[in-house]
């Protein structure tokens, strides 16, 4: 294995971290955005995680896998923010949209808004599982391993999310 | 969208995806990492600075009061009675206890003097 490969954690120079950022930031930001459903909070989370990593200096050499480390750090930071704002509802009109078109087929803006609104109604843990399953193509076993939950819990979170999305999409479309 | 099944919902979700990070974020992280102070650290450092300024101001004010009091009272000519000595000893024997008793005796002397000036009897 190449020791200079930034994502294996051996090369800890700021330049290597910039490479890691280029490699992982997109995925991490989208992940944070789906958990938080708030673009500026997701930006803060990714910013904070990378700044902390930059400040770690020589301790960075102890990180085994940046991919796993960063994902866990982002996840922890997201749930810390959620816990902090527990009783503060975000006003939908006040936040930036979180979804973008991935294909130019028959999708329209109205449909995007409906899907976004439906996704926002899900609790963060269900949004997280939906994200990992749909947008990162993970299996329930991989999701369970990543989140430290049982396979059944991962599958049932997805099931609840699908039911809720179905209801919301039908209600919003009417 | 009536009676959507899971596959249809998944297909619908796949038409969209969470947005990517803003391009400015990379710049923000890597251009000046040393200047990124968290709000929490700014809050603590400014609190400490404010406390230092307040304590310095109070120290100067206390010095001023001490000087004014010394001017007002003039040189101490306290008459140390055995009772006063005993009271000073009870407080702390020396230092502040003794000074406090001296101040109390001086004020008592002045009050008595003022009172006798006012009293026609």
Residue pair A74/A29 in contact by the 8 Å Cβ criterion: no
Residue A107: per-residue pLDDT: 61
Distance (Å, whole) CA A27 – CA A42: 12
In B, residues 2-61, which contact A (CB 8 Å cutoff)?
2, 4, 6, 9-10, 12-22, 25-26, 28-30, 33, 36, 38
Q: Do A30 and B17 touch (CB under 8 A)?
A: yes
Q: What pLDDT, on a 0 to 100 scale, did the predictor assign at position A60?
A: 73
Two structure tokens written together for A19? 């490479």
| Whole-model pTM over 0.90 | no
List the beta bridge partners of residue A101.
Answer: B16
Which region, left, alpha or beta, applies to residue A148 given φ > 0 means left and ψ of -120 to 50 means alpha? Answer: left
Q: From the CA of B6, how many Å to the nearest CA of chain A?
A: 7
The reply to whether A115 touches chain B by the CB within 8 Å rule is yes
Chain A, 146-165: which have a CB under 8 Å from a chain B CB? Answer: 162, 165
Is A100 at the interface with chain B, CB within 8 A?
yes
Distance CA A55, CA B34 (A): 8
Helix boundaries (H) for A56-148: 66-84, 109-120, 124-130, 140-147
Could you give the percent of chain A with pLDDT greater than 70?
83
Q: Report pLDDT digits (tens) over A29-46.
A: 999 999 999 999 999 999
A97 or B35, higher pLDDT:
A97
Reported as a single tens digit per residue, the pLDDT across A113-162 is 899 999 999 999 999 999 999 999 999 999 999 999 999 999 999 999 99
Q: Which residues in chain B are contacts of A105 at CB distance < 8 A?
A: 15
Q: Which residues on chain B are in Cβ contact (under 8 Å) with A131?
A: 18
């Amino acid at each position: 294995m190449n020791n200079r490969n930034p994502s294996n954690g051996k090369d800890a120079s700021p330049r290597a971290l910039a490479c890691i950022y280029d490699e992982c930031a997109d995925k991490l930001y989208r992940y944070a955005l789906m958990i938080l459903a708030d673009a500026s909070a997701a930006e803060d989370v990714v910013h904070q995680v990378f700044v902390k990593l930059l400040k770690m200096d020589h301790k960075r050499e102890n990180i085994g896998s940046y991919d796993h480390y960063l994902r866990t750090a982002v996840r922890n930071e997201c749930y810390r923010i959620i816990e902090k704002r527990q009783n503060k509802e975000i006003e939908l009109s006040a936040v930036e949209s979180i979804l973008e078109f991935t294909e130019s087929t028959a999708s329209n803006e109205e449909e995007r808004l409906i899907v976004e609104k439906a996704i926002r109604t899900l609790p963060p843990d269900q949004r997280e599982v939906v994200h990992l399953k749909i947008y990162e193509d993970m299996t329930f076993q991989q999701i369970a391993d990543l989140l430290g939950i049982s396979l059944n819990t991962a599958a049932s979170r997805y099931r609840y999310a699908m039911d809720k999305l179905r209801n919301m999409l039908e209600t919003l479309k009417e | 969208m009536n009676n959507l099944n899971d596959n249809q919902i998944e297909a619908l979700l796949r038409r969209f995806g969470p947005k990517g990070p803003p391009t400015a974020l990379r710049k923000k992280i890597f251009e000046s990492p040393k200047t990124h102070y968290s709000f929490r650290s700014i809050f603590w450092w400014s609190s400490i600075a404010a406390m230092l300024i307040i304590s310095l101001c109070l120290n100067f004010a206390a010095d001023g009061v001490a000087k004014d009091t010394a001017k007002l009272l003039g040189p101490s000519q306290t008459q140390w009675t055995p009772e006063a000595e005993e009271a000073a000893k009870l407080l702390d024997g020396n230092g502040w206890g003794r000074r406090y008793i001296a101040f109390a005796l001086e004020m008592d002397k002045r009050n008595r003097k003022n009172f006798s000036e006012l009293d026609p009897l």
